[in-house]
Structure 1
């Protein structure tokens, strides 16, 4: 029996990782807003923490406009994450943080309009770290620190890397925050909106291998904490560095989000 939203239910949204595929989160959140579904809590891993923070700060629409404009320094920064540029293969996370700072002056979790938890990985102890108070900027920087792409970040003397390694879709976090109804957005699903017959190069093989592992981890975690609604945009054909395909990803996220939300009759 499906749980439906009661008037006093608190709604939590968990945004998974996925690098450039994270643009699909923008579309899903647009669908949620369009249907006037209030979000009480947000959790995010990797790109999910970045998008979640922008949404919670009220600046996600501005980010969407920037990444789709022809002349935007934001696009220049994100394109540097493409692995075909070996000299830029290990960037300082400050480059990406510049994007966030251009869009908002918010620097702490307490300033956000919606409570947010970001996830990062203690690379030494192999433990999950949840950040939900204090320094927002450093928390995002740690959560998006993709190994081999962005440099690790210290949080309280702990060396941290991308949260997706340990919690690809942080559903448990919004439950702990107090959510009665949970929506999980998994960007590692292997279904696609189109079928491509292509030859994979070594970078493609690595990208797909990581996606398979993280998708399996996410679904194993869903057996422990089952989301009331699981949204998995069909974006398997997109690579983790397809930052130049923002509009396509946003549109697919929107369509899948709206479809999933309306089919599950959230307003009963």
Structure 2
């Protein structure tokens, strides 16, 4: 690859499916592909920050050894009155702080932009300097599940509402070769109508919306490489299936990268 190229990777949202990002990034490291910029939405911001801090391997070891621990901490209720959501995101942030002591964007080894949604003005909120912890908390604030977070007096929720795979953010940072990782890629369902329940309907409906938003955004900024791990069968709350998701992400990431000569 031309050394003048600056590679940016956009890591999309997907809750538990975000474990697949770990596998993709592992394949990138194995193939010695340099990443110069990272953008992340929701779980993509969390994983992206750990990768940019140099601590993603430690996180992988933890989830492989106790692959339900994110689910366990996520459902430790931390009530807030008046309640704006069922849970507070502080327990998830404690996981991040336990793995790394980095707390600002400026301390990261790789420049990172996190994406959240201004719930009042319906605008994208990009963070790339200052308080990293608060930016992650805002980016992962799933409406109704994790409490909204203020960023510079802006009330923010999950970035997936406005930019599920923030490719534009990576380009704005200076990337001229781009990789996008979309965790909402859809496969034909093998389920018959009779086997669907209300949870399946809600989960698949959300994936359809987010996948369509993502591909519409790619019409304006098309990635040089789109990686879509085949994880349609996984739910957003399948935190106990970390090993499978990481392995699928690794296999699909490596396969896609080897097929695309731009990055090798």
Q: TM-score range with shorter-chain normalisation?
A: over 0.9
1:113 and 2:137 equivalent? no
1:175 and 2:168 equivalent? no
What is the rounded CA distance, in whole Å, between the counterparts of 2:123 and 2:92 in structure 1? 24
Q: Which moved more, 1:111-120 or 1:72-81?
A: 72-81
Cα 1:161–1:37 change in 2 (3 A) is same
What is the rounded CA distance, in whole Å, between the counterparts of 1:98 and 1:133 in structure 2? 20
The residue that corresponds to 1:145 in the other structure is 141
Cα 1:213–1:73 change in 2 (3 A) is closer
What is the rounded CA distance, in whole Å, between the counterparts of 1:42 and 1:210 in structure 2? 25
The residue that corresponds to 1:85 in the other structure is none
| 1:251 CA drift (Å) | 0.5
Cα 1:169–1:71 change in 2 (3 A) is closer
> Of 214, 225, 228, which aligns to 1:229?
225
Q: Which moved more, 1:129-138 or 1:69-78?
A: 69-78
The residue that corresponds to 1:34 in the other structure is 30
State the secondary structure of the residue aligned to 1:129: strand
The ranges of structure 1 where at least 4 consecutive aligned residues each deviate by more than 3 angstroms after the TM superposition are: 70-75, 78-81, 194-198
The residue that corresponds to 1:84 in the other structure is none
- 1:68-107 → structure 2 map (5 Å cutoff): 68-70=64-66, 74=70, 76-78=72-74, 90-107=86-103
| 1:98 CA drift (Å) | 0.6
Normalised by the length of structure 2, the TM-score is 0.92
- 1:117-196 → structure 2 map (5 Å cutoff): 117-191=113-187, 195=190
Normalised by the length of structure 1, the TM-score is 0.91
The residue that corresponds to 1:207 in the other structure is 203
Cα 1:73–1:229 change in 2 (3 A) is closer
| 1:204 CA drift (Å) | 2.2
The residue that corresponds to 2:259 in the other structure is 263
Cα 1:250–1:113 change in 2 (3 A) is same
Alignment: residue pair count? 256
The residue that corresponds to 1:247 in the other structure is 243
Cα 1:71–1:34 change in 2 (3 A) is closer
Cα 1:117–1:201 change in 2 (3 A) is same
What is the rounded CA distance, in whole Å, between the counterparts of 1:250 and 1:61 in structure 2? 12
Q: Which runs of 5+ in 2 are unaligned?
A: 78-84
Cα 1:260–1:109 change in 2 (3 A) is same
- 1:12-31 → structure 2 map (5 Å cutoff): 12-31=8-27
What is the rounded CA distance, in whole Å, between the counterparts of 1:142 and 1:216 in structure 2? 23
Q: Which runs of 5+ in 1 are unaligned?
A: 82-88
What is the rounded CA distance, in whole Å, between the counterparts of 1:218 and 1:128 in structure 2? 14
Give a deviation string over 1:120-144, Cα, whole Å, max 9, x none.
Answer: 0000000000000000000000000
| 1:69 CA drift (Å) | 1.4
| 1:205 CA drift (Å) | 1.5
